[in-house]
Amino acid sequence: MENIRIAIVGVGNCASSLVQGFEYYRDKRPEDAIGLM
């Protein structure tokens, strides 16, 4: 039986979006921040 290779795609984009969200909301007041998803 041959080996099956699996790749996970899209993890980089999710991590990038999370970091961008943190940077965006870093200097916001808590009242102005609508939150992160």
Q: Give the domain ranges of the chain.
A: 1-29
Measured CA to CA, the distance from residue 19 to residue 31 in angstroms comes to 21
How far is the CA of 26 from the CAs of 7, 11, 35, in angstroms?
Answer: 33, 23, 11
Once rounded to an integer, what is the mean pLDDT over residues 1-20? 79
Note the pLDDT tens digit of each residue in 17-36.
Answer: 878 888 888 888 878 777 65
37, pLDDT greater than 60: no
One-letter amino acid of 27: D
The pLDDT score that the predictor gives to residue 6 is: 76
| Better-scored residue on pLDDT, 4 or 1 | 4
One-letter amino acid of 35: G
pTM (predicted TM-score): 0.48
